Structure 1
Amino acid sequence: MDLERHDYDVVVVGAGGAGLRAAIAAHEAGARTAVVCKSLLGKAHTVMAEGGIAAAMANLYPEDNWRVHFRDTMRGGKMLNHWRMAQLHAQEAPDRVRELEDWGALFDRTPEGLISQRDFGGHRYARLAHVGDRTGLELIRTLQQRTVALGIDVYMECTVTRLLTEGGGAGREGGITGAFGYWRESGRFVAWQAPSVVLATGGIGKAWKVTSNSWEYTGDGHSLALQAGASLVNMEFVQFHPTGMVWPPSVKGILVTESVRGDGGILKNSSGNRFMFDYIPDFFRKETAETEDEADRWYTDKKNNRRPPELLPRDEVARAINSEVKAGRGSPHGGVFLDIASRRDADYIRKRLPSMYHQFKELADVDITAEPMEVGPTCHYVMGGVEVDPDTEAARIPGLFAAGEVAGGMHGSNRLGGNSLSDLLVFGRRAGVAAAEHASKLSGARVEVAEEALADAGRAALAPFERDGGENPYAVQHDLQQTMNDLVGIIRTRSEIEQALERIEQLKVRVANLSVEGHRQYNPGWHLALDLPHMLLVSECVAKAALEREESRGGHTRDDFPAADAEWAKINLICERSPDGAVTVRRQPLPVMPHDLAEVFEELA
């Protein structure tokens, strides 16, 4: 087998914010480090996080602090978050933002010259450090520049298809020994021998038909970890961002940043009613404006720290929009109207929301300074991911780490806007440090990658070429996306989830019979054929966990169990893979929160 080989201490899979921050940390800890990414360096999905980085820097509100941010994050996740991850995130986020500034990030400023911070849903205070509505792009630019300056090796347009372990292949036989993959351009195989691998592969959104996610988000990291013997947590919780574009069809699902609502945008139905006032949950009423007059005053006078209902957590807003559309009060193309034109002048909109202005102008011929946008929910983020140690981001397989969206536990059942960027900075750094430390401990006792494992990984990757007249990968992908969209979407029922699982079993047979034509060079059909098993495996995890959790909480809504259940509030669901390849789901009690942290909720009530 023609195979390119490399030897490192730490291999980071993924070059978004979490991956680059992990690589920088590992390199600075003395590890020989490489980054492997499916796309081009700088073309990470992190750039879609446009609104800001959540961090209690207290630049606008001196009373903001990490304890308030911790409380907001736990409440946003409906208390299913791992308390230690939420604590570390809230405590360390301000330092990670200042670090970016030291490395050259150009944040918007307050009149006093401090980093500006904006409001976002679920946050008590304005705490999102931002760069217009291009914050994720600036974050990636800064981390990318530092990665290159440090001389870290980057393997672009290269896909990892398997994690290798001491037992020889994929399985629970021992610690990590490396990874196997291929160059997307040439199809040539490549192997990295390394005692530490950090997964930073992002999410799973391409398993759904309508999504804000780009083509890379096929659940590779979730699936690779599961196949290697790691466990996944909270996979039933999938966030449908309330505002994606709905028209024209070619751009359906593309993200409309929460910054539009954070800067004053309001939601209206086809009758022109500001409907979010009808959907304020009792849980939020203490901190949410209860009349439109109060909300209008909040925009000009924030002394009461009130929130307009458009800034409720994303799961609440998404369900409200879904209800309006189902009730026949939607916009002409099946969404609702997001209006900032009547709230802010044109210069303000173009300055604060330049990307949104150009996006709608170019893609939908809509001038958002003069007319409302049509928006609707789009599959955006998965709260579930690899179960990791909160302090080190280590999975249960020695040498395997995960950070960013591919890791679970931090966000519980629902992620607050802005927490994704601070999450990847805080835990990307921690994963990189821990990965380097693990590799250092094994420096004199490394296990070689087994030749048979490499040969087996190569055979599996080439299998679609060996079949004639098999299934078309694009047809299978279409059917999987339609299944997840229709049956495991924003609203779920037992009968629909069971139907989805039946279809997934049928799709497994079809995926095992995928065939592609041509050769390995420039072959997108082959690339998809290798992505589809990952997408199918994570879809099964989502569906089985959604079937098990008989309540509605955060990003998981069961129409047949519409209320939250106090008993389910004590339980995380863990997905594992049995030796025969079947996905199993077990219940696991939440870790007990220390008394001093539990007191935060009483102090800030």
Structure 2
Amino acid sequence: MRTENRTGDAVPLDPADYRVVERTVLVVGAGAAGAQTAIELVEQGIDPEEILVIGKQEYGDAHTKWARGGINGALGTHDPEDDWSIHAADTLREGGYLNDPEKVETVAKRMPALLRELDDWGMPFSRTNQGEIDQRYFGAQSFRRTAFAGDHTGESLLDTLVERARDLDVPYHENVFVSRLVTERGRTLGAAGHDMETGEFVVFDADVVVLAAGGYASLYRRHSSRDDENTGDGPALAYEAGAELMDVEFVQFHPTGMVGDRYGDEWDGRLVTEAVRGEGGRLYNVDGERFMERYSPDQMELDARDVVARAIAREIAEGRGTENGGVYLDISHRSRSFIEERLPRMYERFSDLGVDMAEEPVEVAPTAHYGMGGVTVDSVGQTRIDGLYAIGETMAGVHGANRLGGNSLAETVAFGQVTGRAIAARLATESIGGDSDVLYDRAERHFADLAMLADSNGTHDPRTVLDEVRELLWSRAGIIRDEEGLASGLAELDRIRGRANDLAVGGPTSRSFEFALDLGLALVVAEAVLRGARERTESRGAHYRTDYPDVSPDWQRNIVVERDSVGAMRLTTAPIRTPSAVVQDALNAGYELDYHQLE
């Protein structure tokens, strides 16, 4: 496990001194998306020794495990009328019709069979009395479609996938930070980075690179991720390599994060799973009002996440929040045995903090949770750079303007399978290797830059400057946005960039070096968020502007971000494709959740 007190002692800093790792396929990121991709590659006949999965954390310790509430798939356990087309329709509706319909249908169609496959692999799903995979309500879902393992679904999913990958002998390197993708003439050659424990530089000579490195929600002051993950690595690496980004302005604020002033800074923003509301949890303001009756009398606490998050933010802003800056989430009307069975991790967490969920409410407030945007990819996850793929939260297209709860885990396994199969099929018919001499030359130049950064003795602490980025995005591109705030945010980002060029770093194995690398990637994504949010002069999904409060038909377009010929950020738009006839029929049918079935 990486520690806070790593030092830079006795570490070689010669840019020409590096280790070379040769693989056919390099998977960057070891959460569910990366693990599923590697599993599929082996099951499609690729020798495990031709694959390498790398991650910044220990194996099995990825952000996936913090996704607690469930994973979507139209099994119809309780509601047999549900099917994949209604799942797709719910996803498009929740996404403000900015989703790529083809990608949405890919996920919705594949998930029932994938849930059963996970079950076969030993995923400990919660069960009905009849022994079937149980399913619960999640916000904005027309039917009970979210399969779950108590309230530890992500943890159980990742454990299942890691165990399966180990059974297939998939190699893994942990504590590796990839800081540069190397490309030449529109194709990938590999990647460059360093071992975070030893400081050793590493070149990954790979025909195919799969980015499964997460999203960018922890670039906000209050967020549900750990500080050293979801800092925008995947999107920033792809962008700097020449790929396009899309929909980056859309950041989902989960309605229910823990409130640090009550539970301590360690827990500030940590997720209180949507499963609490899915199992009947109710929201109250400090006056004891169940305030969602004003905002969404039909869907109540299980309306779309953006609706509930803005409602909570408004209650707090108008003085009806708690003294700790939150509202109350109460499930104490359920029995203690029900809570302990259905929400065991939440019950245990709050018990350890001195709160009995069976007797009293918990305090919550919105927290940055998920970036809907990411890297633009085709139907099998490939970017416009030949041999470079992006999947999971690193990719764009599935979620549009707002993510349907339970779809994040679904996307990871669905596109892990799709991308793994596509890469295996391609490798079976063609050789796609690149020029290794170019790779090593580019890597050595990058290592020279890294050596200078590791040895820099400037003015500013990297972690402090990274926190300035987080505060900036929270205040200027948060739940509520406007032109003045976004414009001033971009100006302040330029000033932060100046401080980022004058850092004090403590050597290549120090945490400050890691934060310095995070900062460089974060600045790219932060600019894309601010520019995209300023460009989109409407309110749609998770993007809400007080100066443009309505949805505009003219803005049913995706904003695409790319580097121009001089390295500046350029924004264009792309049209939305049409759903298939069967999904359009499901949209026309107007299915929607009726919260009051829970009462």
The one-letter code matched in structure 2 to 1:535 is: A
**What does residue 579 of structure 1 align with?**
565
Alignment of 1:161-310 (within 5 A): 161-165=179-183, 167=184, 173-214=185-226, 215-246=228-259, 247-250=262-265, 251-280=267-296, 290=298, 308-310=299-301
Q: 1:395 to 1:560 in 2, by over 3 A?
A: same
Q: What amino acid is the match of 1:335? A: G
Q: CA deviation at 1:444?
A: 6.9
- Residue number in structure 2 paired with 1:297: none
Distance across 2 between alignment mates of 1:449 and 1:138: 43
Separation (CA, whole Å) in 2 of partners of 1:130 and 1:465: 44
Task: Summarize the Cα distance change of 1:121–1:185 in structure 2 as closer, same or farther, 3 Å threshold.
Answer: same
Q: Answer yes or no: is the 8 Å Cα contact 2:85–2:582 preserved in 1.
A: no
Aligned to 1:600: 586
In the other structure, the counterpart of 2:522 is 535
SS of the residue 1:112 aligns to? coil
Q: CA deviation at 1:435?
A: 2.6
Aligned-partner residue type, residue 109 of structure 1: R
Taking the aligned partners of 1:109 and 1:188, their CA distance within structure 2 comes to 47
Please give the per-residue CA displacement for 1:236-272, whole angstroms capped at 9, x wherever unaligned: 1000000000022311100000000000100000111
Whole-Å separation in 1 of the counterparts to 2:504 and 2:566: 24
Letter in 2 for 1:414: N
Q: Displacement of 1:455 after TM fit?
A: 0.5
Are 1:14 and 2:29 counterparts?
Answer: yes
- For the pair 1:422 / 2:432, whether they are aligned, the reply is no
Give the counterpart letter for 2:205 in structure 1. Answer: Q
The one-letter amino acid paired with 1:12 is V
Q: CA deviation at 1:441?
A: 4.3
The correspondence for 1:566, drawn from 553, 558, 563, is 553
**Aligned AA (1:323):** R
Structure 2: state its 5+ residue gaps. Answer: 1-15, 592-599
Pick from 310, 315, 324: which aligns with 2:306? 315
- Asked if the contact 1:68/1:604 (under 8 Å) is kept, the reply is no
Kept in 2, the 8 Å contact 1:242–1:314? The answer is yes
- Structure-2 residue corresponding to 1:454: 443
**Other structure's SS at 1:42 match:** coil
State the alpha-carbon separation in 2 of the partners of residues 436 and 543 from structure 1. 38
Q: What's the counterpart of residue 484 of structure 1?
A: 473
Structure-2 change in CA distance of 1:449 and 1:20 (3 Å): farther
The residue aligned with 1:303 is none
Q: Distance in 2 between matches of 1:436 and 1:510?
A: 45
Unpaired runs of 5+ in structure 1? 168-172, 281-288, 291-307
Pick from 112, 122, 126: which aligns with 1:108? 126
Decide whether the 8 Å contact of 2:188 with 2:434 is kept in 1.
no
Counterpart residue number, 1:588: 574
Residue 64 of structure 1 aligns with which residue?
82
Q: 1:514 aligns to what SS in structure 2?
A: coil
2:374 aligned with 1:399 = no
Q: Deviations over 1:125-159 (max 9, x none)?
A: 11111110001111000000011111111010111
Q: Is the 8 A contact 2:133 2:147 kept in 1?
A: yes
> Which letter maps to 2:278?
G
Cα deviation digits, residues 358-405 of structure 1 (max 9, x gap): 11122x321111100000000000000111112x11111000111111
Provide the residue aligned with 2:535 in structure 1. 548
Q: What amino acid is aligned across from residue 393 of structure 1 in structure 2?
A: G
Q: Distance in 2 between matches of 1:153 and 1:76?
A: 38
- Deviation of the 1:595 alpha carbon: 4.0
Give the aligned partner of residue 8 of structure 2. none
CA distance in 1, matches of 2:320, 2:412: 38
Structure 2 distance, partners of 1:463, 1:437, is 42
SS in 1 for 2:155: helix
Alignment CA distance shift 1:417-1:445 (3 Å) = closer
Note the C-alpha offset of 1:446. 4.0
Q: Deviations over 1:149-207 (max 9, x none)?
A: 11111010111111111x2xxxxx32011111111100101111111111111111221
Other structure's SS at 1:8 match: strand
Contact 2:326 2:365 (C-alpha < 8 Å) held by counterparts: yes
Instruction: Quote the Cα distance in structure 1 between the aligned partners of 2:433 and 2:274.
Output: 49
* Distance in 2 between residues matched to 1:85 and 1:449, nearest whole Å: 37
Q: TM-score, normalised by structure 2?
A: 0.93
Report whether the alignment pairs 1:157 with 2:175. yes
Q: Which residue pairs with 2:4 in the alignment?
A: none
1:8 shift after superposition: 1.1
Separation of aligned partners in 2, 1:556 and 1:274: 25
Shift of 1:48: 1.1
1:40-61 CA distances to partner (integer Å, 9 max, x unpaired)?
1111111111111110001111
1:270, 1:149 → 2: CA distance?
52
When structure 1 is superposed on structure 2, of 460-469 and 552-561 the one drifting more is 460-469
Percent of matched pairs sharing the same residue: 40
- Output the CA distance in 2 between the equivalents of 1:494 and 1:234: 18
Give, in whole Å, the separation in 2 of the partners of 1:269 and 1:444.
Answer: 59
Given that 2:89 and 2:584 are in contact with CA atoms closer than 8 Å, whether structure 1 keeps it comes out as no
Change (3 A) 1:440 1:515: farther
| Structure 1 SS opposite 2:533 | helix
The whole-number CA distance in structure 2 between the counterparts of 1:277 and 1:235 is 32
State the alpha-carbon separation in 2 of the partners of residues 527 and 236 from structure 1.
26
Query: What SS does the aligned partner of 1:80 have?
Result: coil
Structure 1's 441 and 540: CA in aligned 2 closer, same or farther, altered over 3 A?
Answer: farther
**Relative to structure 1, is the Cα distance of residues 442 and 182 closer, same or farther in structure 2, using a 3 angstrom cutoff?**
farther
Task: Please give the alpha-carbon distance, in whole angstroms, between the structure 2 residues aligned to 1:347 and 1:526.
Answer: 47
Q: Kindly report which structure 2 residues correspond to 1:48-59, keeping only aligned pairs within 5 A, or say none.
A: 48-59=66-77
What's the CA shift string for 1:272-296, capped at 9, x where partnerless? 110001112xxxxxxxx54xxxxxx
Give the residue type in structure 2 aligned to 1:128: T
Aligned residues, how many?
Answer: 568
